[in-house]
Amino acid sequence: MNPDELGVEMPDVTVESTTPEDLKARIDGGEPVTILDSRMASDYEEWRIDGENVESINVPYFEFLDEEIPEDVLDRIPEDEHVTVLCAKGGASEYVAATLVERGYDVDHLEDGMNGWASIYEAEEVTAYDGPGTVLQYQRPSSGCLGYLVYDGEEAAIIDPLRAFTDRYLADAEELGVDLTYAIDTHIHADHISGVRALAEEGVEGVIPEAAAGRGVTYTDDVTLAADGDEFDVGDATVETVFTPGHTTGMTSYLVGDSLLATGDGLFIESVARPDLEEGDDGAPDAARMLYESLQERVLTLDDDVLVGGAHFSDAADPADDATYTAPIGDLRERMDALTMDEDDFVDLVLADMPPRPANYEQIIATNLGQEAVDDDEAFTLELGPNNCAASQDALTSD
């Protein structure tokens, strides 16, 4: 929302801006950061930029529209600290920052607002991976989405790609000198728009779990359906299909080079999956039992040194030494009681503290099934928001 849309005139002052990447670098570097979030309180409570060294203040933009800004509003904004103002898209925050510059505050505003924050997408090499080839973990800090690029020789595969970053995957493959051969989904996602079909349109072989097709997928003729035990060769690396239902009936993991299990939304390094996004509250207990069986019989039977790499991380997750959100199965077994308790206790735990369902999840699911069509801008907007795919709002791991 720009000043014209707000019905006000932009103050005649110079307002500095900061990029989302620079703001994240300051946060990651441990620098104290003060953020003035000028979105509505409901948007702020649902999703915001946090961190151990981040002080976040919410004052909606409309508090700054009058010529005389209330003193109790100004009193909330530190006069002796640098403040970064943000909004949804960057317009209202620039105006708010300008009103504060007029009054002597040291402020800048975040370019493109939370939309810009959601555009950050980083790649880290999983150095603990010791199978054939190389694995990169893609990280989207705004929503905690994770994906995996496996490459060896002249071939590559992307697991759990996001439609918003289709061009990025193709560009990265070109820079690495490999052909992106496969685009693989672990399940029908409920929190973001899958990039499998967009990559398939670019000549990449799209792969979805065979077990997920029965939910009403409309594009099965355009992709490969992966059955339990199927293997996909990426150079000398093998990506093996491991059926692990529970989060959804079609939830499928992929074992990469016998060294990393891409678990989708089945198991995270700090929690386990929520079981209610496909069958709802009534079907959640049965789905939780299905998840328990998958974890006990398909995941925890792997070697202790096999790395787990989920499709999400939360603020409660601690990255590994290589800055990736991965952890050995043996380590998770020791630190996560949910993996060693009996079935009834596991079900009770999983159902006890589930967060709100992801924003727009029903429309996102319908889009990923191919039952609804949205353009790129709408797709990006639909998936804005926090990561709510884990069963618990807090970490289930101990230090």
Residue in 278, 289, 133 with CA at minimum distance from that of residue 215 = 278
- Both 263 and 305 in one domain: the answer is yes
Can you give the residue range of the structural domain that contains 178? 122-382
Residue 228 has pLDDT above 80, yes or no: yes
- Both 104 and 180 in one domain: the answer is no
Q: Are strands 155-159 and 179-184 parallel, antiparallel or unpaired?
A: parallel
CATH code, 42 = 3.40.250.10
Least confident of 104-108, 109-113, 201-205, 351-355: 351-355
- Paired with 174 in beta bridges are none
* Confidence bin at 4 (pLDDT 50/70/90): low
Question: Is 87 marked active-site?
Answer: yes
Residue 285 has pLDDT above 90, yes or no: yes
User: If 0-12 CB within 10 Å is exposed, 13-18 middle and 19+ buried, where does residue 148 land?
Assistant: buried
Structural domain contains residue 392: no
* Confidence bin at 2 (pLDDT 50/70/90): low
Residue of 15, 36, 77, 87 marked active site: 87
Residue in 22, 48, 139, 58 with CA at minimum distance from that of residue 384 = 48
pLDDT digits (tens, 9 = 90+) for 132-184: 999 999 999 999 999 999 999 999 999 999 999 999 999 999 999 999 999 99
- Both 220 and 318 in one domain: the answer is yes
- Both 297 and 351 in one domain: the answer is yes
CA 263 – CA 336 distance, rounded (Å): 16
CA 253 – CA 6 distance, rounded (Å): 48
Residue 1 has pLDDT above 70, yes or no: no
CATH code, 255 = 3.60.15.10
* Confidence bin at 69 (pLDDT 50/70/90): very high
Q: How many domains does the chain have?
A: 2
What is the chain's mean pLDDT, rounded?
A: 94
pLDDT in the model for residue 368: 97
- Both 128 and 102 in one domain: the answer is no
* Confidence bin at 391 (pLDDT 50/70/90): confident
Residue with tokens 């970053």: 165
Cβ proximity of 355 and 390 under 8 Å = yes
- Both 105 and 179 in one domain: the answer is no
pLDDT in the model for residue 395: 82
Q: Which residue stretches of 259-375 are H helix?
A: 280-294, 329-335, 343-352, 361-369
